[in-house]
Amino acid sequence: MNEWKQKVLSFLSKNYGFFILAVILFWLKTYIAYQTEFNLGIENAMQQFLLLINPLSSAVFFMGLALFAKGRRSFVWIIIIDLLLTIVLFANMVYYRFFSDFITLPNIKEASSLGEQSGSIGALMNWTDALYFLDIIFLIGLLVFRVVKPNKEARIRARKTVGVLTLGVAMFFANLGLAEIDRPELLTRTFDRTYIVKYLGMTNFQLYDAVKSTQNSTQRALADSSDVNAVLNYTKSNYAAPNPEYFGKAKGKNVIYIHLESFQQFLIGYKLHGEEVTPFINSFFKDKNTFSFTNFFHQTGQGKTSDAEMMLENSLFGLPQGSAFSTKGKNTYQSAPAILGQQGYDSAVFHGNYKSFWNRDEIYKQFGYNHFFDASYYDMNEKDVSNYGLKDKPFFQESEKYIQTLKQPFYAKFITLTNHFPYPISEEEATIKPAETGDASVDSYIQTARYLDESVKSFVQYLKDSGLYENSVIVMYGDHYGISDNHAQAMSKVLGTDYDAYQNAQAQRVPFMVRVPGVEGGVKDTYGGEIDILPTLLHLLGTDTKNYVQLGNDLLSKDAKQVVPFRNGDFITPAYSMIGGKFYNQKTGEEITTETDAMKATKDNVAKELELSDEVLQGDLLRFYTPEGFKKTDPSKYNYNNKNKTISTDKDSTDGTSTETK
């Protein structure tokens, strides 16, 4: 036994022995993480095999770089590289627990926004996470306690080290070849990061993402005016003419958006402990003057709330990686505030967080917003601040004095934030008992949704008392999911049904309600998503969208196409859906095993629409096209600095900007 032990320790004391041990330990923990931390949708033996082997190529290559060092330094570098790879794995684990997605290079560039989410990140971490660093501690212990004793002068010949790196590269291409058999054109025709991780591994995905991000960053410089032609041809051919019954029915009215943070459609009418969770929003949904959509879906990607705003204001999708708000804040846009501003509308955003979050202070200028009332305008005392900023009730109450400064007609957006993961709420503020699923996030989500409902009720009462209610189009919309598919077991209890991939896709419904004074509304079963909000609103206001670059359709139009693309290339229609590459009967939820020509055509069209949207944003193509009658926005005329100033209204102002005095 001692002789065997000595042989093992002698092997580990050599550079290549320690290297092999580190690779094996990293490989095993990565595979365990794949199985326990991520939902990668393994469907067959080939995918399971690829999942097993895909950590090896990157581990061999990157740890192999340490073999160029001599003696003990080689061992130290193996541990350092192992630690860096582990940090990448661990960061993605924590990120995935809420977003059901993987970190991309633009996410890292948006670190300032992620820093604001420290409370949410803390809630996603478990004490068991430390286990993923045990191998690092073990390797360090072998060195520190001299269990392994590297020769200070020993080093592997450079030729052999190059051979190790070549082996890593060869393993990657073998991995890719097998992946292409199961998923042809893996690297060229997917919007879904899950496929890359499943087939090629976490580290290789990060490299792929870095390459794609670099390519995207050069796209603007290479774009020219001819690139916008394909986009124009597409938008004109997919244009849905306004319904004459509703076109212009809201002309000249104020527009008030109420952004319902993380609010999913299932909350509408949902009862818990014998009482409605959101009684006021339920009543608004059923109001005789409200158009309410039961098959309306969020379509956000990694940008979450900022993606929802991008679609809301521009009818363009968010980017496949990161947030366009952060990375495309200097682009040219043809946004709702600018379109309406040139028709005499004042415009403002109200939000209880600071203006730099999601780069809003820059991109709102490109959108043409006259005013931005951020946290600097509000009383951010400790009692009223939670999670992402000012709680919704004091936020709406304090906003009342600012909305009075806007000239009518105005276009205003109120962004709530209390109903945001991890859904913290005190016993004093909770007016409904939590759910009893055993999942803390899901249970308290019900309580913060009730708080949001009460906040909105008070604000709408103010609008009625002030006379704004009957002179305003009021839009309420949910920006993105509140409960991710990582809480499937709890959601099964909430919804009373099995929560599989199909059901999760259906749960991506969010509210979309448009109340137009004096116009009979009703509950609509039309299928649509956030990309469709802008053309729907503009047509109600009497502005035809046929000359604008907008990828959505007017949901009140008789020509609405009723195809809802998701950011990963999946989609939903009234007849069938594609979820995770599989087709389902939308009515029954049963899998469809035969892909029809119509399904293929829809899939190809969805991919084309997403691609064109990306080209518009990545290439900043709207700088090459200005619709007739529209003037490009001049961002230099907007100033959102508060600096302890008070707002007073200049009723005679003609450019829409605010007058601020000490």
Among candidate residues 61, 65, 83, 87, the one with its CA nearest the CA of residue 74: 65
Distance CA 202, CA 88 (A): 8
Would you state the structure tokens that stand for residue 483, as one six-digit string?
């409960």
In whole angstroms, how far apart are CA 471 and each of 151, 153, 252?
82, 83, 9
Distance CA 610, CA 605 (A): 9
Distance CA 408, CA 659 (A): 16
Residue 153: its pLDDT value, please?
A: 66
Residue 119: its pLDDT value, please?
A: 56
**Catalytically annotated residue among 235, 290, 300, 305:** 305
Distance CA 271, CA 346 (A): 39
pTM across the whole model: 0.80
- Answer yes or no: 305 catalytic: yes
Greater confidence, 214 or 113?
214
Contacts 24+ apart (CB under 8 A), 101-105: 101/193, 101/301, 101/302, 102/193, 102/194, 102/197, 102/202, 102/205, 103/206, 104/193, 104/209, 104/213, 104/302, 104/321, 104/322, 105/209, 105/210, 105/213, 105/321, 105/322
**pLDDT tens digits, one per residue of 314-352:** 999 999 988 899 889 999 999 999 999 999 999 999 999
Residue 113 — pLDDT band, cuts 50, 70, 90? Answer: low
Residue 191 — pLDDT band, cuts 50, 70, 90? Answer: low
Residues 6+ apart with CB under 8 A from 58: 85, 168, 172, 201, 203, 204, 207
**pLDDT tens digits, one per residue of 233-268:** 999 999 999 999 999 999 999 999 999 999 999 999
- pLDDT beyond 50 at 659: no
